Amino acid sequence: MRDVAIIGIGIIKFGELWEKSLRDMAVEAALNCLTDAGTDRADSVTIGCMSSGVFNGQEHLASLIPDYLGKNNIPATRVESACASGGLAVRNAYMEVASGLSDYSLAIGVEKMTDVSTGMATYALATACDRDYEAFHGITFPGLYAMLARAHMERYDTTREQLAQVAVKNHSNGALNPFAQYPFPVTQEAVLSSTMIADPLRLLDCSPITDGAAAVLLTTVEEAKKFKSSPMVIIRGVGSATDTLALSQRKDMLELGAVKKAVHRALKMAGKKIQDIDFAEVHDCFTISEILVMETIGIVKPGQGGPATIDGLTALDGKFPLNPSGGLKSKGHPVGASGVAQVYEAVSQLRGESGKRQLNNPKLALTQNMGGSGGSCVCHVLEVKD
């Protein structure tokens, strides 16, 4: 296996992008990435997209996107793992380069979610849960995560204020991110008084419906040495895992088994422990999600995620910052693009290019991208080489 570096990153502003099509967004992010890298070379392309067939009536992205990118003749693959599709695209590009199949591999994450009604968007997203035993009976992802939140509150005395603080913290970060869908702060009072969606989760506990795209270009460390414009960021570890699709089939619904295994595998491959990581981009599709993830991966003990968030552990100036980008909550959640956007933020921070939200000299980053209610997960450990 060859060592792999990220030499290019690209993103577009997330939001309700009425004037841009699925292909427009993917190509724009890819071109931004190639410009950042200083090369237009890509020996292969992987596109992460959850549900373009339902959202846009468009499948066969493995032909469409390279065509409009001007790269018709290279091998291309479209991958799907619900909301972890973007992370899976980066993993696939990593394997292309590490294995020697490609010297330069481009990963693109994209989703166009706002061209359908709210009902159709809800239907499309519900295809990521168990269709027969969850969606058919009326459950939606707000409902599933509301059950997780209620169970956590019952077991650990987690409070509504602690959940709300996740949104407050991430919106504070997102207010500093020019690519965020909702780049403005919110107060705890605003979160607690927002519309109830699924008790105890309110509107400002939930990530939004979003259009967006992001891209990263990978090559070997040896090839990366030819590019001197930025510090080199190396992928030190990759981890992936799955769990039962239905929440009801898990032995303990508050233990995210796929997340635990994926992070363990990525850290083991990197030869690191969670305590070595300087910051992480994690999958905060709902406020309870960030709390569950930080407990699952060992940042804090089970039940301590809420108090730690209130105490500032995960803030930009805390001991373990989470989601300096604003996370899915503030930056937005175009489901197929979110995992690639996490890697974009990690590389930007490690290069020292994140502007007002820049952390203090980070060296190691973790990205954690999961699908559904934790049915799949992909993680990456990234390190900057001075």
In a domain, 123, yes or no: no
In a domain, 106, yes or no: yes
* Sheet strand arrangement including 4-11: 76-79, 44-48, 104-111, 212-220, 4-11, 232-242, 376-385, 364-371, 279-281
Same domain as 178, residue 37:
no
Angle between helices 22-37 and 61-69 (to 10 degrees): 50
Q: What's the angle, vertex CA 240, arms to CA 234 and CA 244, rounded to 5?
A: 160
Residue 92, domain CATH = 3.40.47.10
Same domain as 218, residue 90:
yes
Same domain as 274, residue 216:
no
Same domain as 165, residue 92:
no
Same domain as 228, residue 106:
yes
The DSSP string of 121-177 is HHHHHHTTS-TTTTGGGT--HHHHHHHHHHHHHHHH---HHHHHHHHHHHHHHHTT-
Is 80 exceeded by the pLDDT of residue 136? yes
Same domain as 112, residue 100:
yes
Same domain as 373, residue 362:
yes
Q: Tell me if residue 333 is catalytic.
A: yes
In a domain, 386, yes or no: no
Q: Quick one: pLDDT at residue 267?
A: 98
Same domain as 266, residue 164:
yes
Q: Classify strands 212-220 and 4-11 as parallel, antiparallel or unpaired.
A: antiparallel
- Phi/psi region, residue 358 (left: phi>0; alpha: psi -120 to 50; beta: rest), is beta
What is the C-alpha separation between 109 and 85, in angstroms, rounded? 7
Residue tagged active-site, from 333, 377, 379, 380: 333
Q: How confident is the model at residue 278 (pLDDT cuts 50, 70, 90)?
A: very high
> What is the largest distance, in Å, between two alpha-carbon atoms of the chain?
57
In a domain, 124, yes or no: no
Is 80 exceeded by the pLDDT of residue 228? no
Same domain as 53, residue 13:
yes
In a domain, 33, yes or no: yes
Q: How confident is the model at residue 386 (pLDDT cuts 50, 70, 90)?
A: confident
pTM assigned to the model: 0.98
Is 90 exceeded by the pLDDT of residue 33? yes
Is 80 exceeded by the pLDDT of residue 229? no
Q: Are 88 and 48 in contact (CB under 8 A)?
A: yes
Same domain as 164, residue 217:
no
* pLDDT tens for each residue of 175-220: 999 999 999 999 999 999 999 999 999 999 999 999 999 999 999 9
Prior bond to 321 cis, omega within 30? no
Q: Classify strands 76-79 and 44-48 as parallel, antiparallel or unpaired.
A: parallel
Host domain of residue 72: 4-117+210-232
Same domain as 240, residue 375:
yes
Is 80 exceeded by the pLDDT of residue 75? yes
Could you give the number of structural domains in the chain?
Answer: 2
Structure tokens at 338: 């979110």
Count other Cβ atoms within 10 Å, centred on residue 46. 30
In a domain, 132, yes or no: no
Structure tokens at 200: 């105890």
Q: Are 10 and 31 in contact (CB under 8 A)?
A: yes
HSE at residue 72, side-chain half, CA atoms within 13 A, is 1
In a domain, 350, yes or no: yes
Q: How confident is the model at residue 314 (pLDDT cuts 50, 70, 90)?
A: very high
In a domain, 310, yes or no: yes
Q: Tell me if residue 60 is catalytic.
A: no
Same domain as 223, residue 240:
no
Is 80 exceeded by the pLDDT of residue 113? yes
